[in-house]
Amino acid sequence: MIDLALVLEWVIKSLVVIFMLLGGFAYLTWFERRILARMQTRVGPNRAGWQGLLQPVADAVKLVFKEELIPARADKVIFVLAPILTVVPATVLAVVIPFGTQVILFGRQVNLAVADINVGILFLMAVASVAVYGIVLAGWSSNNKFALMGGMRSTAQMISYELALGLSFVLVALMADSLQLSEIVEAQRTMWFVVLQPVGAIVFLIVTLAEVNRAPFDMPEAEQELAAGFHSEYSGMKFALFFMAEYQKMIVISIIAVTLFFGGYLGPFIGRFPWLGPVYVLGKVVALLFGMVWIRATLPRIRYDRLMDLGWKVLLPLVLGLVLITATGILLADEFGNSLVWSIPVVSILAGFLTVGLVDRSLRRKFNALR
Amino acid sequence: MPNPWVFIGLFIIIAAIIPIGAIVVALILGPKKPNPIKQSTYECGLETVGDSLVQFKAQYYVFALAFLIFDVEAVFLFPWAIAMNKMPLYVALEGVIFIVILVAGLVYTWRKGALEWV
């Protein structure tokens, strides 16, 4: 017999998470446009409502009333299905994230996570790789050369960066001794994993940028060469759905980064006021999102062969090395006392500097050969 | 406590309703005035030549093969990562040997020139 109140509680929690992501998406577009504008000494959208805060509403209304074009030569079923397939994984990623411990609400103990499953990390890995299908199918079904190239590029990018992503998940599993996300957060009570494994956190942030197709890795939709890439043929609401998927993925991937490396919902006074959990998550996520926008404003798009080289020849060997370093460090700490755990960050940072040095040398050599 | 996967299924259904609903609403509210020029394939003002659904050269074919190997490796590493420090030392060492074998494979692919973008 399933408890009806429990089902209701879970449905409400699911709806809260989904609408939080939708609202986050709407205001992330505003946030990004305002910040990019400020960084380029423009003003940005400031007409609709106070400080332009109603701009997302205006955009949504405009997009709903637009005509939806389906090219005559497109594969119509897949063409309509592709945006849905892109949005759903982006939302579903958020289901396993713990936003806090337990709070008392209407006399009930409410767990601030929709489904805290014991294989959380594997679930994240699986769903994150499903997300690329929508993009590839969109590119293929449009029957457009630009779109096909965009879809192809997104696959190539995914297979290059998924590896480093999976291995940085392994790093977290090594340090936390668990795949359950709430236990991973609890394992960071004494120390955030970004302190223990700073290079792993940096690799994770780079790789997630590539996973969500953000600048400087936005090759599948490179405006200047592919005319919007995989969504060239999309208009109106279907285009908005691709946009929504990208921004929701940005938000969710920031939440994942916060959970895995930056202490999740932990912060001062969390034991006494469990309601602070979601607030801390929000604060850390906004900081990471600001970083993503900053990177977009700063770095030019990376060349395509360089992108593949970075994934396969730099990040993959580096993160394999980090797995070995972390495993050794944990074993040493177990055998000869806990202070040896500090060998992990020290050796990792050395490995990081070594990698940067080797990349620098190889690029210099290429440059000199050209001269 | 019911199985949490039931609620993940429920969540997927709710998450799918939103994009489907958005497409349906736009279908009802948006104008529909198609014509052949509008529905032609976009190619920066040029007439499209031929079909795009051709046998396309996937340049990352070898990468895809290597990806398969290393992705399975990452999945194999998860149980090892969890159980490593609860088991005897040789279990940890076997994991290390596993990683070293795969690094050797990566070095081999690299030296063969399979990781060059052509």
DSSP code string of A122-187: HHHHHHHHHHHHHHHHHHHHTT-HHHHHHHHHHHHHHHHHHHHHHHHHHHHHHHHS-S-HHHHHHT
Residue A297 lies in a domain: yes
What's the domain range around B88? Answer: 4-111
pLDDT-derived band at B2, boundaries 50, 70, 90: low
- For A47-105, write each residue's pLDDT tens digit: 877 887 888 888 888 888 887 777 877 778 888 888 888 888 888 888 888 877 777 76
pLDDT-derived band at A179, boundaries 50, 70, 90: confident
What's the domain range around A45? Answer: 4-302
In angstroms, the CA A217 to CA A307 distance is 7
Residue B55 lies in a domain: yes
How many Cβ atoms are within 10 Å of A94's Cβ, its own excluded?
Answer: 23
Residue A360 lies in a domain: no
B contact test, residue of A2, A76, A145, A306 with most B CBs within 10 A: A145
pLDDT-derived band at A223, boundaries 50, 70, 90: low
Residue B91 lies in a domain: yes
Q: In chain A, which among 43-102 make CB contacts under 8 A with chain B?
A: 63-73, 80, 83-84, 87-88, 91-92, 95-96
**Which chain B residues are within 8 Å of A148, Cβ to Cβ?**
52-53, 56
Residue of B2, B12, B78 lying closest to A2 (CB–CB): B2
Put simply, the answer to whether A143 touches B70 (Cβ < 8 Å) is no
In angstroms, the CA A243 to CA A194 distance is 30
Asked if A242 is an interface residue toward chain B (Cβ–Cβ < 8 A), one would say no
For residue B114, the chain A residue with the least C-alpha distance is A312
Asked if A115 is an interface residue toward chain B (Cβ–Cβ < 8 A), one would say yes
Look at residue A216 in the predicted model and tell me its pLDDT.
Answer: 80
Strands (E), A144-284: none
Location of structure tokens 């993009």:
A135
**A265 half-sphere exposure, CB direction, 13 A CA radius:** 22
Closest CA–CA distance from residue A334 to any residue of chain B (Å): 8
Residue B118 lies in a domain: no
In angstroms, the CA A338 to CA B81 distance is 19
**Which chain A residues are within 8 Å of B12, Cβ to Cβ?**
88, 92
Strands (E), chain A: 98-105, 108-113
Residue A151 lies in a domain: yes
Residue A220 lies in a domain: yes
Closest CA–CA distance from residue B60 to any residue of chain A (Å): 6
Residue B35, burial from CB neighbour count under 10 angstroms (0-12, 13-18, 19+): exposed
Residue A217 lies in a domain: yes
Look at residue A160 in the predicted model and tell me its pLDDT.
Answer: 81
Q: How many domains does chain B have?
A: 1
Question: What DSSP state is assigned to residue A178?
Answer: -
- Per-residue pLDDT, averaged over A294-306, amounts to 84
ipTM of the complex: 0.80
Residue B56 lies in a domain: yes
Residue B106 lies in a domain: yes
Residue A251 lies in a domain: yes
In angstroms, the CA A261 to CA A68 distance is 42
Whether A176 shows a pLDDT value over 80: the answer reads yes
Put simply, the answer to whether B60 touches A88 (Cβ < 8 Å) is no
Residue B117 lies in a domain: no
Look at residue B91 in the predicted model and tell me its pLDDT.
Answer: 80
Residue A90 lies in a domain: yes
Q: How many domains does chain A have?
A: 1
Whether A147 shows a pLDDT value over 70: the answer reads yes
Closest CA–CA distance from residue A272 to any residue of chain B (Å): 26
B contact test, residue of A323, A325, A328, A344 with most B CBs within 10 A: A323
Residue scoring higher pLDDT (B39 or A326): A326
In angstroms, the CA B106 to CA B103 distance is 5
Look at residue A2 in the predicted model and tell me its pLDDT.
Answer: 59
Residue A348 lies in a domain: no
- Residue A108, phi then psi, degrees to nearest 5: -120, 145
Whether B42 shows a pLDDT value over 80: the answer reads no
Closest CA–CA distance from residue B109 to any residue of chain A (Å): 11
- A vs B: CB pairs below 8 A: 211
Residue of A83, A91, A140 lying closest to B15 (CB–CB): A91
Residue scoring higher pLDDT (A340 or B94): B94
Residue B76 lies in a domain: yes
Tokens of A345: 């960050």
pLDDT-derived band at A13, boundaries 50, 70, 90: confident
Residue B70 lies in a domain: yes
Q: In chain A, which among 142-181 make CB contacts under 8 A with chain B?
A: 142-148, 152, 155-156, 159-160, 162-163, 166-167, 169-170, 173-174, 177-179
In angstroms, the CA B84 to CA B88 distance is 8
Rank A2-6, A51-55, A202-206 by mean pLDDT and report only the highest. Answer: A202-206
